[in-house]
Structure 1
Amino acid sequence: MTTSDTLEAKPFGGHKPAPATLDFLATRHGLLIDGVWTESAKGERIETVDPATGLVIASVAAGDASDIDRAVAAARRAFEGAWGRTTGAERSRLLTKLAQLIARDADLFFELEILDNGMPAALSRMIVDGAVDLIDYYAGAARRIEGTTTASPEHLVAFGGEALTYTTREAVGVVGQIIPWNVPLSMACLKLAPALAAGCAVVLKPAEETPLSTLHLGKLIQEAGFPNGVVNVVNGRGETAGAALVAHPDVDKIAFTGSTEVGRLIVREAATTMKKVSLELGGKSPVVVFPDADLDLAGPGVAMATFFLQGQNCMAGTRIFVHEKIHDALVERIKAFAGAMKVGHGLDPTNQFGPLISAGHRARVLQRIEEAKASGAELVLGGAPLDRPGFFVPPTIFTRTRPDMKVWREEIFGPVMSIQTFGDEDLDALARRVNDSPFGLSGSVWTRDLSTAHRMAARIRSGHVSINCHGAVASNIPFGGYKESGWGREFGREGLDLYLETKAVTARL
């Protein structure tokens, strides 16, 4: 029996993946370094698990510091060689080709994201389509990297001379990129596309839990025609490969998405070599529902703000402020919507709610739920693990929470909603409660009153606020956090700026 036959015999939630997916899973996956797929220096490997079943579905090479050294050296050679002299038009053509290849292999990516991460089918399809759009967006941006002209220093002109002063935008150099496990393909493309548009060379470390779609993306990068060494993919654990990448003296910039705790460690280490850092970190996003809100819209909208991707997303709206006049009515709508969500394997397109990423993460989320119960929060839905294979925790809702409770203050990264009420206090008083958090990544306001909506949005200290919806992100909309939610903005023009330096040139004529 072949490895592919063995995989095919596994249940996959009762659904059979496509032959191309089974063949991919059966492949012995390595590291992409300088255009060659290779084993790690020590021969170590990591097993990948389907979180909806708990079964091992693939094995990938696990790199360490020596593999990072090889990858960084390859990226440096590429950056200082022909790649560093490419035009924006050339980079644009390569990115356009890559977008076309992702679209061609959309079905494979669709199943890999489900099997590796556990996400529902509808979300996986959206992620794959979004990856194509994101690469296309930065393919266009590569042609629009421009400098400016400005007035020359007065002291040069004052002595009878003439001068020309202009600026150019140049690639930062060799970039280390570390991505999380919650939306693997999206995160890989969000990091790679602007870096490649700018002309950087990259060492990319996927999350050890979800490397599969990034590995196939690496193959498509080669097929698109990017030169060897421009993109290197080194799987590995954070404490080995990730730490080595951050500490490497020949890396010019680190781009990281993940927890605030790890972000702090990266900042401390990066300070020793003064490399540039951009960080998209944790969140505990507020959702403010005013008494005039459309409850038919807000009920499912607020529910999905929390339970989208099982709450495993940094912009999840998990702190719900609802006016006391509509509290009971809104909670009933949220409870009805969340309680009706069909739970199961993402390969079943009728399922809307998947597992958490791992057994360890499920245990952490369940511990937070028990702490909330013990602290006096009122449980109105969920709150216990599901008795089935995989790492499932159902949608969980707490009311009567207090500002001092961990369930209210700390990021859980799971399907746990906390609700508080507010009265007729003015917007400034309400905003003080809303902003009483170390995080400031996202948020939303729900009301029919246009003035209230914009006045409240202006008072929320977050990098991204939506009105009568939540988490409205797109390729052209900058996204990032205030406070402990990170440094810098991704997506949009601002995402490209993260990978560019500005040089001023003055010539006395």
Structure 2
Amino acid sequence: MADVRIAIIGQSAFSADFLKLMVSKGHTICGVFTPLDDPKTGREDTLASTAKKFNLPVFKVKTWRLPKETVKAIPEIFEQYKSVAPDLNVLPYCNQFIPMEVIEFPRLKSINYHPSLLPRHRGAAAINWTLIEGDREAGLTIFWTDDGLDTGPILMRRACTVLPNDTVDSLYSRFLYPEGIKALEESVNLIKTDYAPRLVQPERDATYDPILRGKDERTMIDFSRLTTADQLHNFIRGMDKVPGAWAEIKLTSGTDYERVKLFTSTKYPIEDLGMPDVLRLVNLRGLDKEAIVHSGGLLMFTNGDGRPINVEKLQLVATGKMIRAATYGSAEANRPPLVLSEEEQENVDKIKSIWAAILSSDNIVKSTDFFFSGAGSMDVTRLVEEVKDVVGDSLELDNEDVYMNTQFEDFVEMVVRRTRGESSSGAELDYEPVRLTANKLELKFPNQLFINNKFVNSVKANNTMPSINPTTEESICEVQVATKEDVDKAVKAAKLAFHKDSEWRKMNPRDRGYLLNKLADLMEENKKELATLESLDSGAVYTLALKTHIGMSIAVFRYYAGWCDKLQGDTIPINNARPNENLCLTFPKPIGVCGIITPWNYPLMMVAWKSAACLAAGNTLVLKPAQACPLTALKWAELVARAGFPPGVVNVVPGKGSECGQAILDHPDIKKVGFTGSTPTGKRVMESCSKTLKKCSLELGGKSPFIIFADCDFQRAVRYGMSSVFFNKGENCIAAGRLFVEESIHDEFVAKVVEETKKMTIDDPLKRSTAHGPQNHLKHLQDLEAFCKRGVEEGATLVYGGRRVDRKGYFFMPTIFTDVTDDMFIAKEESFGPIMIISKFANGDIDGVVARANRTDYGLASGVMTADMSKALRVMTDLDAGTCFVNTYNKTDVASPFGGFNQSGFGKDLGQEALREYTKTKSAIIEF
């Protein structure tokens, strides 16, 4: 191609990026013409800065023409322009009027970029009108420059589909900006090869649309004219973010209207989501029906078709403050603007300069959006590190803070409040906490329902239940109890949070993983408080709670945080439909709203096992924690909100299984249930799920056999034999329900176990020396007493324990039975307590003991102790249980799948397997 000398006339990051592309492609740029430097800041346009980096001649022009002159340029400016001897002018983006004398001077003339499909939407507000008019297609045109009316011959057009919720910013960022730069460069290539067309614009379908910026009468929402949901939605998004569609609003209880601009509009799917819960009612001038402020924004019903439109953000015109629409009329929305100290103002000015440098723009205003202005993921890291350099490394700031505060005003407020030690939202999570002192800690925790990131009371007045401390038998506090109506509210919030346009659904998987890690960090920071609550509420020994109950909970969230961006499908070879080819792809998709019902033995850990996988897969959830001990789950909910999870993603509803649990099972909008509990209850759960064909996973009861061969490491066998039963007071799903000990070591084993059991310290679980704390609740203690009584009545030998400890609290002695035959009740049924059931088996009878071990309805776990690995592998293979421990016991790990067979349930917690429980697989068959 012949060399062509190109003059670039314009400004902005768009023009600068076009220049970079042209230089990288080897084009000859003879000169760059930009406006003068900003008179207020002294900054030059980014196009000028970019040109200087390439050592290109830069000319800064205040104006090209005299007033009212359209043809002739100012002579000295024209001479300056001619000095670079251009063959072609390219105007990527130019808001100066360029006289025709300049346009026509080069031998190849001039080309322009225009962000619409000409001849439709001529004028400076082309993108706005594309959306306002409801065009199904948007696009760009490269045309031969005319006298400024966008009527020149067309060289190239490119089109894209307008997405349902496109805004001016999103349309520009995803198509008009990147494709416009490429189209301009390709147009230059066509001109160089003499293949560039000149298609005369037809006048049919041509429109010349008026400007909007600065024209209040054109940007006002006229509800009498915009009478359908489509019209209203298109009008609002057509001005998002600039210039902004405005209306006048007031609380129904108020008297004075105020002007607000409305942003982030969507057509609200009321058939899918139902009516939202009302936070406040408002009037908009000209709108017939009251609008609803709800957790997801502001819901308006049009005057014509009555369909709802939701907006997520409002800008208070009087102050310029941008707020979440859900906060309108609340204390948060009315919080006064920040009053900055001199030092803070200096920092804000420096942060503004950082934004300007990253975005290559001097026009950083309150509403400037970091990403809509062209920033990418690499820019996020740069922003975080540069702001830390300015403010100081002590500032807690990470990438997610940028994603959560994308507008300049919000970002600056967040940084300033962080430096002051305040919450970035201006206030901590709003609830009235229970306060008490225990374990040398000042505890503060919620006792209400957690719905939509708020702690609320039940809809039923005075609907509470006591949470009992099993050590003292006294009430810790009253806890709100969820009704069916409360569950419905929680499900509605979760469903809204799962909607395809929600913040949670639009979040990148890696950012979802960040939130899980952030939650794990907060749990780590609060682990002593969580472990103390677990001890008070469930009787867990504090040292064990710290390591296992809470420690493993934290590890689970970290593990699944790593899985968030690794959920992937398969590419599957299939038979081709000749002569074409076919391809099969699979995609794991989140299921939707999940119901999670957890037991009382590990109050927080069971929440973590299920919710971490559920959230990693992208679902939302409604959790019913154990009725007997809900406090750690509620404290965890507080941490969820503090971590930054969007409202509705996690909801916690303490309550009774018969009402709250059943409401979760019956709710048609819950698509999956994860349950841990007893086998009889699990059967009822499965039956309820079948009525709406819910997917369910059940981790139920067990009677796990532990076979101890004579060739084992004896001391190790004693140690693991005891921990297999007495770990966590026996309140352990996989506890060894029956020990089979080879005859030759049986008596010695029993004697040693009794000796060691007598040494166990039974005391207050908060004491560091305690090995054995109280059982979880009174009914369970009474069941253990009845279990032991039946064992004695059936002829088993009670060697040790079997009764309640003579002290206050639900303490039960570690218990040992021998001479237990296979037909006895205690040999077949689960005690779920610290009761060791020992049976002997004949020396060398491997097949016989395995057969006896498998003679159970359950199949959760099992164990074998032997020095002979061939024997161990043989036994492990034959034992019919979901997990088999070899020369160990209770060794669970976040990466190892956990779940049972038979009447111990189905489905898995933990490991990669658990993610399958919370996803559904979609297949795509492609022919090409």
TM range (shorter): over 0.9
Match of 2:532 in 1: 111
Aligned residue pairs, count: 493
Match of 1:253 in 2: 672
Match of 2:770 in 1: 351
Which range moves more in the overlay, 75-84 or 247-256? 75-84
SS at match of 1:20: strand
* Rounded Cα–Cα distance in structure 2 between residues aligned with 1:30 and 1:286: 41
- Of the three residues 648, 661, 665, the one matched with 1:242 is 661
- Of the three residues 644, 647, 658, the one matched with 1:225 is 644
Instruction: Give 1:101-250 correspondences, 5 Å limit.
Output: 101-126=522-547, 127-154=549-576, 156=577, 158=578, 160-250=579-669
SS at match of 1:60: strand
Match of 2:520 in 1: 99
SS at match of 1:184: coil
Quick one: which amino acid aligns to residue 563 of structure 2? A
Match of 1:406 in 2: 825
Match of 1:474 in 2: 893
Quick one: which amino acid aligns to residue 145 of structure 1? L
Quick one: which amino acid aligns to residue 910 of structure 2? F
Match of 1:485 in 2: 904
Quick one: which amino acid aligns to residue 136 of structure 1? R
Q: CA deviation at 1:426?
A: 4.0
Q: CA deviation at 1:186?
A: 0.5
Identity score, percent: 36
* Rounded Cα–Cα distance in structure 2 between residues aligned with 1:314 and 1:383: 20
- Of the three residues 35, 42, 53, the one matched with 2:453 is 35
SS at match of 1:83: helix
The question of whether the paired residues in 2 share the 8 Å contact of 1:72 and 1:250 is answered with yes
The question of whether the paired residues in 1 share the 8 Å contact of 2:582 and 2:927 is answered with yes
Instruction: Give 1:396-435 correspondences, 5 Å limit.
Output: 396-435=815-854
* Rounded Cα–Cα distance in structure 1 between residues aligned with 2:803 and 2:555: 38
Match of 1:334 in 2: 753
Quick one: which amino acid aligns to residue 117 of structure 1? S
The question of whether the paired residues in 1 share the 8 Å contact of 2:816 and 2:835 is answered with yes
* Rounded Cα–Cα distance in structure 2 between residues aligned with 1:338 and 1:41: 49
Q: CA deviation at 1:162?
A: 2.6
Gaps of 5+ in 1: 9-15
The question of whether the paired residues in 1 share the 8 Å contact of 2:740 and 2:849 is answered with no
* Rounded Cα–Cα distance in structure 1 between residues aligned with 2:829 and 2:844: 25
Answer yes or no: is 1:51 the counterpart of 2:485. Answer: no
Which range moves more in the overlay, 419-428 or 496-505? 419-428
Q: CA deviation at 1:217?
A: 0.7
* Rounded Cα–Cα distance in structure 2 between residues aligned with 1:101 and 1:35: 16
Match of 1:13 in 2: none
Quick one: which amino acid aligns to residue 537 of structure 2? D
* Rounded Cα–Cα distance in structure 1 between residues aligned with 2:873 and 2:660: 44
Match of 1:456 in 2: 875
- Of the three residues 688, 697, 703, the one matched with 1:284 is 703
* Rounded Cα–Cα distance in structure 2 between residues aligned with 1:85 and 1:410: 48
* Rounded Cα–Cα distance in structure 2 between residues aligned with 1:143 and 1:312: 35
The question of whether the paired residues in 1 share the 8 Å contact of 2:449 and 2:457 is answered with yes
Q: CA deviation at 1:153?
A: 4.0
Give the RMSD, CA atoms, in angstroms: 1.5
Write out per-residue CA displacement over residues 172-200 of structure 1, whole angstroms, 9 at most, x where no aligned residue.
Answer: 11100000111111111111101110000
* Rounded Cα–Cα distance in structure 1 between residues aligned with 2:450 and 2:839: 49
Write out per-residue CA displacement over residues 354-373 of structure 1, whole angstroms, 9 at most, x where no aligned residue.
Answer: 11111111111101101111
Which range moves more in the overlay, 420-429 or 35-44? 420-429
The question of whether the paired residues in 2 share the 8 Å contact of 1:30 and 1:38 is answered with yes
SS at match of 1:37: strand
Match of 1:90 in 2: 511
The question of whether the paired residues in 2 share the 8 Å contact of 1:465 and 1:471 is answered with no
Gaps of 5+ in 2: 1-432
* Rounded Cα–Cα distance in structure 1 between residues aligned with 2:924 and 2:703: 44
Write out per-residue CA displacement over residues 150-185 of structure 1, whole angstroms, 9 at most, x where no aligned residue.
Answer: 12443x2x2x11333211110011100000111111
Quick one: which amino acid aligns to residue 18 of structure 1? K
* Rounded Cα–Cα distance in structure 1 between residues aligned with 2:568 and 2:621: 22
Instruction: Give 1:250-329 correspondences, 5 Å limit.
Output: 250-329=669-748
The question of whether the paired residues in 1 share the 8 Å contact of 2:467 and 2:478 is answered with yes
Match of 1:12 in 2: none
* Rounded Cα–Cα distance in structure 1 between residues aligned with 2:879 and 2:644: 45
SS at match of 2:744: coil
SS at match of 2:770: coil
* Rounded Cα–Cα distance in structure 1 between residues aligned with 2:715 and 2:846: 24
* Rounded Cα–Cα distance in structure 2 between residues aligned with 1:214 and 1:385: 29
Q: CA deviation at 1:17?
A: 2.7
SS at match of 1:465: strand
More helix by share: 1
Q: CA deviation at 1:309?
A: 1.1
Q: CA deviation at 1:325?
A: 0.4
Q: CA deviation at 1:121?
A: 1.9
The question of whether the paired residues in 2 share the 8 Å contact of 1:152 and 1:506 is answered with no
Runs of 4+ in 1 over 4 A off after TM superposition: none
Q: CA deviation at 1:314?
A: 0.9
* Rounded Cα–Cα distance in structure 2 between residues aligned with 1:4 and 1:264: 36
Q: CA deviation at 1:404?
A: 1.3
- Of the three residues 354, 360, 376, the one matched with 2:795 is 376
* Rounded Cα–Cα distance in structure 1 between residues aligned with 2:845 and 2:837: 22
Q: CA deviation at 1:425?
A: 4.9
Instruction: Give 1:2-41 correspondences, 5 Å limit.
Output: 8=437, 16-21=438-443, 23-24=444-445, 29-41=447-459
* Rounded Cα–Cα distance in structure 2 between residues aligned with 1:329 and 1:425: 18
235 and 352 in structure 1: CA distance in 2 versus 1, 3 angstrom threshold: same
Q: CA deviation at 1:19?
A: 3.8
Q: CA deviation at 1:4?
A: 7.5
